[in-house]
Amino acid sequence: MFNTNNNNSEILSGMPVLAVNPGSPSEKAGLRAGDRVIIANGMQVKDLDSFVKARNLRNDGLDVTVMRGFKMLDLKWSFDNASEKEV
């Protein structure tokens, strides 16, 4: 039985990925347009501002959990230089 009283809005929130640049660290890590970033570097992502704050917690890489369709996926990538921090 599905419990409609349970608040699943946090699971359904997150930052939608509209596009991924070809050859970018995010593409190499497996991020795809249509994914929804739920967690970044251990912080819940609700919008672009919260994603940027989470991304800036580390200078060496990014760990994200994304919702793709009905699946949750963990993706990881590292930044070899400052320009790769652009996601």
List, as one string, the DSSP characters of 17-40: -----TTSHHHHHT--TT-EEEEE
Per residue in 60-75, pLDDT (tens digit) is 889 999 999 999 999 9
* Residue 30, both tokens: 């497996």
Its pTM stands at 0.76
The proportion of the chain whose per-residue pLDDT surpasses 70, expressed as a percent, equals 77
9-79 topology per CATH: Pdz3 Domain (2.30.42)
Confidence of residue 6 (pLDDT cuts 50, 70, 90): very low
Mean pLDDT of 33-53: 95
For the chain, give every domain's residue range. Answer: 9-79
